[in-house]
A and B are shown apart, each in its own frame.
Chain A
Amino acid sequence: EPEVTQTPSHQVTQMGQEVILRCVPISNHLYFYWYRQILGQKVEFLVSFYNNEISEKSEIFDDQFSVERPDGSNFTLKIRSTKLEDSAMYFCASGLDVPTNEKLFFGSGTQLSVL
């Protein structure tokens, strides 16, 4: 079965540094997402991306966050100036037609640790 691939699996960074989390969604998918899970808390929605633009974002997704799909295959999440509270597992997901309940495919996550 096709997979969503995320790199790196672990990222350690200093507070205030920029990080880019990378994802390769499944090739024919149209909907792309970032979710995150802070240890012990719920999986939280960050942003959805469709038709080359952000379609929805949560309150968490402030000006420090941005997403790009630069070359039609990669889907990146950038955090401009990391904070301690950004430490979490970040999941990328993609789907073909999610509003009609076609399933989402998730990557295995990037564990971000901000020191």
Chain B
Amino acid sequence: GNSVTQMEGPVTLSEEAFLTINCTYTATGYPSLFWYVQYPGEGLQLLLKATKADDKGSNKGFEATYRKETTSFHLEKGSVQVSDSAVYFCALKKVGYSTLTFGKGTMLLVSP
């Protein structure tokens, strides 16, 4: 079946540090891949997505590249801000289906 594995959190960084949150997946075929973010007290929001191999999704300074050969979709940001503190969820969806498969989520804490 489909599954998503994320690195364990919390990830604690100082402002302006480089961020990587690892995500690997197991799926049949070629799923679409997503990163969702949940800020405190809010719902999950789509951060970025990629729908085919070698696609790069990007938004708000965050990037992730769909790597089919390593079945990975790692989230990166060059310089984090305190306002990036949130829980980040990696997810996949089979093309043509509507159900998302999520990872556990990784909490990011950024200090000034």
Task: Tell yes or no: A75 within 8 A of B by CB.
Answer: no
Instruction: State the interface size on chain A (CB cutoff 8 A).
Output: 30
Q: Which residues of B contact A98 (CB under 8 A)?
A: 93, 98
Query: Interface 1/0s, chain A 29-61, versus B by CB < 8 A?
Result: 001010101001111110010100001100000
Chain B interface residue bracket vs A = 20 to 34
Inter-chain CA distance A7–B104, complex, in Å, is 24
Task: Tell yes or no: A19 within 8 A of B by CB.
Answer: no
* Chain B residue nearest in CB terms to A47: B99
Inter-chain CA distance A106–B101, complex, in Å, is 14
Inter-subunit contact B103/A31 (CB<8 Å): no
**Could you tell me which B residues sit within 8 Å of A by CB distance?**
4, 32, 36, 38, 41-46, 49, 51, 89, 91, 93, 95-105
**Could you tell me which A residues sit within 8 Å of B by CB distance?**
3-4, 6, 31, 33, 35, 37, 40-45, 48, 50, 55-56, 91, 93, 95, 98-99, 101, 103-109
30 contacting pairs across A/B (C-beta < 8 A): A4-B43, A6-B43, A33-B98, A33-B99, A35-B102, A37-B105, A42-B103, A42-B104, A43-B44, A43-B105, A45-B99, A48-B99, A50-B98, A55-B98, A91-B44, A93-B43, A98-B93, A99-B96, A99-B97, A99-B98, A101-B32, A103-B46, A103-B49, A104-B44, A105-B43, A106-B43, A106-B44, A107-B43, A108-B43, A109-B43
